[in-house]
């Protein structure tokens, strides 16, 4: 081997060894999940809010599962995941907003609150118990029952993104 070819060979060997010794965790979603974290378990979120629709617990739980399945490589398990979520829907109400000159509300705001307990079984420093709340407005001229499913889906999207961000993107 000539001298320049030998140097090139050693450079490639050096880069190869460097790659083997370093591991990095990255994601296009901004999640920073440690390589040893492989599973997530999400318990059913019961509804403790008296005005919430009966199916809101199921819709929220499925939305939380969906965000982890679509934005991570984690495997969903029934219990004892590396990451664990539990909690409940604790608040659900609607109230008028945007009062007009004739003292009628142009919009009605639906607000939903969720209490979440997050456990990271690989890094206890990331554990938290926190309330999350989001809202969605709709035109008061519309009947809540006719738009409630869309509103619930929108609120669930916002809440689950907040929970996802808090638990795996370290914001």
Helix/strand/coil percentages in the chain, nearest 5: 35, 30, 35
pLDDT at 151 over 90: yes
The overall average pLDDT reported for the chain is 85
> Of residues 123 and 24, which shows the higher confidence score?
123
Is residue 84 in some structural domain? yes
Q: Residue 63 in 3-state DSSP? A: helix
11-25, 37-51, 60-74, 114-128: least confidently modelled range: 11-25
Is residue 96 in some structural domain? yes
The values of phi and psi at residue 7, to 5°, are -60, -45
Residue range(s) defining the domain that contains residue 76: 35-168
Is residue 18 in some structural domain? no
Q: Give the pLDDT score at 143.
A: 86
pLDDT digits over 161-170, tens only?
999 999 998 6
Is residue 5 in some structural domain? no
Strand 128-139 and strand 75-76: the pairing is unpaired
8-17, 124-133, 145-154: least confidently modelled range: 8-17
pLDDT digits over 78-90, tens only?
999 999 999 999 9
Cα–Cα distance measured from residue 67 to residue 65, given in angstroms and rounded to the nearest whole number: 6
pLDDT at 105 over 70: yes
Is residue 95 in some structural domain? yes
- What is the share, in percent, of the chain residues with pLDDT greater than 70? 78
Number of structural domains (the chain) is 1
Is residue 70 in some structural domain? yes
pLDDT at 28 over 80: no
Q: Give the pLDDT score at 50.
A: 93
Q: Report CA torsion sign: 77, 81, 84, 88.
A: positive
What angle do helix axes 56-71 and 144-168 make, rounded to 10 degrees?
40
What is the pTM (predicted TM-score) of this model? 0.79
Q: Which two tokens stand for residue 131?
A: 């309330």
Is residue 44 in some structural domain? yes
- Cα dist from 140 to 18, 57, 78, 150, whole Å: 62, 25, 41, 15
H/E segment holding residue 109: strand 105-120
Question: Domain containing 75 — which CATH number?
Answer: 3.30.160.150
Is residue 27 in some structural domain? no
Q: Give the pLDDT score at 26.
A: 38
Burial class (CB in 10 A: 0-12, 13-18, 19+), 91: middle
């Amino acid at each position: 081997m000539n001298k320049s070819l030998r140097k090139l060979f050693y450079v490639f060997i050096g880069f190869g060894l460097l790659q083997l010794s370093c591991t990095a965790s990255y994601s296009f979603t901004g999640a920073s999940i440690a390589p040893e974290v492989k599973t997530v378990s999400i318990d059913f979120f019961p509804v403790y809010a008296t005005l919430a629709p009966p199916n809101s617990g199921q819709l929220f739980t499925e939305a939380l599962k969906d965000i982890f399945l679509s934005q991570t490589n984690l495997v969903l398990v029934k219990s004892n995941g590396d990451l664990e979520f539990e909690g409940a829907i604790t608040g659900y109400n609607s109230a008028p907003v945007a009062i007009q000159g004739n003292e009628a509300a142009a919009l009605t705001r639906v607000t939903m609150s969720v209490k979440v307990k997050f456990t990271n079984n690989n890094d206890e420093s990331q554990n938290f118990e926190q309330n999350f709340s989001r809202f969605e407005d709709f035109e008061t001229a519309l009947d809540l029952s006719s738009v409630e499913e869309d509103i619930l889906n929108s609120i669930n999207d916002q809440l689950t993104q907040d929970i996802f961000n808090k638990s795996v993107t370290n914001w």
